[in-house]
Structure 1
């Protein structure tokens, strides 16, 4: 099916380009080198998170009512604007405004991209390939960390933060331009945005089958916050500081492999998917118990297993959604994901990797209920 293959290449290419931003490995250092202290940097991250949380669901409603492709394009333009502000006038206020704009951009893209890709594949008669395509997109986002880190290093050596910043602006605009090539399937949503919001939320929260898979995706997606602690685990387990980035990258590459295999994992019975999730939690617990540099291999294996299950769960969610509120309902799951990530942060604060491993096991019953239905409902 040539059209479906072209669409897949477009989706994977957009996913890779949208993450090929040389600011990503360096922006925390930019803040510190500009004179901010650790508390001020944490406050900036809070601005980013709050902006995303407040606009997540309204952004999904806007995408359904206006244009999902337009929302993705606008997200790239807004992200570019935020980075341009950082680069042109680096300072606390500019960083805060840029993060707020970036938070809105992330909310615009999160539900809209999945809805755009799913409906695009459905229009081409390739709905059943969504898990595979989504897995490849997730894999591309992880794999692109390698050239991104290399580009950031070279650009900083040549032109410092200004060159890194302006190239980042250009990459975001290029991703926005590429998003214009997405075909957009026709969909009809409420003319009244408040009515659209009410209907989208009602569909997500009142239909038992959909409610369960939304909750499962939210809890599973929140567990991805464990990635933030991979450098911490590496250092605590004896990896030299200079080698920590390479160790973290190795774990990310294992995750990329797991995500890429998500399409194959979708064919597995639910009990096997649950076994993979249990295996991910037990791998993390075993690694924490071993607490040696080599234990990161177990973390990498568990991360790959986890992302394979997450890709399947995200596909099941898209299969279960019926009607014109696909982006809004996906955004509800995205909001739940952000809230669920707070559980990971709290668990780490209380009990480190053992407590986080416990979370992996604790969500298994909810994931079991959410993944129970395999047959696509949306037609």
Structure 2
């Protein structure tokens, strides 16, 4: 749990976009940096997921934290487009190492003790911690910036990432089966991609999780919505505080929600759509309360989706299959950006409604979930 806190308690997070601007980068250069970050993550996702499957998922998490730390060192010591780009390359590689490895390590660790049915509960708590940590991180970033500017915030971020690597190095990792050792890196890479593509249940779960995960990009627009709905700029962070808290509450209920049928989950997500539509009709500060309710319900369904994806995976390349879903999340996020461009809140609601329609058929209630 402490590792989950440390991965989000990084004070440079709320500041890096402003850092780029204050360094003198243009809007086009900043967009190029984000593109580099996304491209590295997408290209490295599956190959690095297979690396975690072949060698050690725990070591992958340690390496991910260290790569991120080195990236921030580059930002602090070489501020400028080239330095920021290099830092994003390192951060992107670290993120790709981490995404599939963490879920795989957690699931197999629980399965080694016959407790894989608790994955939704534990993963939901980790997600909730991540969301709650966003609030003190913003406060910490403000204090550090006032005391020592971007330099201090950057070096503290390096220290937090190194601490995260130390914590990750102590994670228990179940022993590998002899059959796993017989498979080489390329074999595991192929096996993971093949299972994600050919197994009907896994393929459907991968697509649903990709679509659900991509919806989280909606949070990028929360500050804009608050401003457009009449919240003064200085009060936007305060007005938005309830949204991640609601998301944390929803995620923490993931273990209970995993007992629900997929039809019930679809109805829950459909109710979230109605709440979101209501907020768009209001277009007032009070509408952010409705957005918070939407976000809590959405986060609860997402935790269940991630758990049921893990339940459907039967092969040895669990991190690789999960990484395939993570690539889908990136693509799905682009679809959300398009939905916002077309219809803002109503466009996003339409996209969420589409995902809700897929749930009853494509996100099966697995035997593990049914035993809860």
- TM (norm. structure 1) is 0.94
Would you say 1:118 and 2:118 are equivalent positions?
Answer: no
Per-residue deviation, 1:260: 0.7
Report the equivalent of 1:225.
Answer: 217
Report the equivalent of 1:7.
Answer: none
Matched position secondary structure for 1:24: coil
Cα distance between partner residues in 2 of 1:192 and 1:124: 27
Cα distance between partner residues in 2 of 1:282 and 1:13: 36
Per-residue deviation, 1:56: 0.6
Report the equivalent of 1:78.
Answer: 67
Report the equivalent of 1:94.
Answer: 83
CA contact (8 A) 1:51 1:104 kept: yes
CA contact (8 A) 2:262 2:359 kept: no
Would you say 1:263 and 2:255 are equivalent positions?
Answer: yes
Would you say 1:168 and 2:167 are equivalent positions?
Answer: no
Would you say 1:364 and 2:353 are equivalent positions?
Answer: no
Q: Select 2:243's aligned residue among 238, 251, 259.
A: 251
Report the equivalent of 1:8.
Answer: none
Report the equivalent of 1:273.
Answer: 265
Report the equivalent of 1:5.
Answer: none
Q: Select 2:18's aligned residue among 21, 25, 29.
A: 29
Cα distance between partner residues in 2 of 1:145 and 1:192: 39
CA contact (8 A) 1:215 1:366 kept: no
CA contact (8 A) 1:189 1:325 kept: no
CA contact (8 A) 2:50 2:189 kept: yes
Report the equivalent of 1:312.
Answer: 304
Q: Select 2:40's aligned residue among 51, 64, 67.
A: 51
Q: Select 2:321's aligned residue among 329, 332, 342.
A: 329
Report the equivalent of 1:154.
Answer: 143
Query: Deviations for 1:171-191, whole angstroms, at most 9, x for unmatched residues?
Result: 001001100111111231664
Report the equivalent of 1:133.
Answer: 122
Per-residue deviation, 1:332: 0.5
CA contact (8 A) 1:44 1:99 kept: yes
Per-residue deviation, 1:55: 0.4
Cα distance between partner residues in 2 of 1:23 and 1:234: 23
Answer with 358-367 or 136-145: which moved more: 358-367
Per-residue deviation, 1:264: 1.1
Matched position secondary structure for 1:271: helix
In structure 1, the gaps of 5 or more residues are 1-11
Q: Select 1:353's aligned residue among 345, 353, 366.
A: 345
Per-residue deviation, 1:193: 2.2
Would you say 1:192 and 2:192 are equivalent positions?
Answer: no
CA contact (8 A) 1:283 1:302 kept: yes
Cα distance between partner residues in 1 of 2:31 and 2:196: 33
Q: Select 1:179's aligned residue among 164, 168, 180.
A: 168
Matched position secondary structure for 2:368: coil
Answer with 126-135 or 266-275: which moved more: 266-275
Query: Deviations for 1:305-330, whole angstroms, at most 9, x for unmatched residues?
Result: 00000000100011111121000000
Per-residue deviation, 1:365: 2.8
Cα distance between partner residues in 2 of 1:132 and 1:308: 10
Q: Root-mean-square deviation (CA), in Å?
A: 1.2
Report the equivalent of 1:6.
Answer: none
Report the equivalent of 2:196.
Answer: 204
Report the equivalent of 2:284.
Answer: 292
Cα distance between partner residues in 2 of 1:103 and 1:234: 30
Query: Deviations for 1:306-364, whole angstroms, at most 9, x for unmatched residues?
Result: 00000001000111111210000000111111111110001111111101100000112
Matched position secondary structure for 1:186: coil
Cα distance between partner residues in 2 of 1:178 and 1:370: 37
Aligned pairs for 1:54-69 (under 5 A) are 54-69=43-58
Aligned residue pairs, count: 366
Per-residue deviation, 1:124: 2.3
Per-residue deviation, 1:367: 2.1
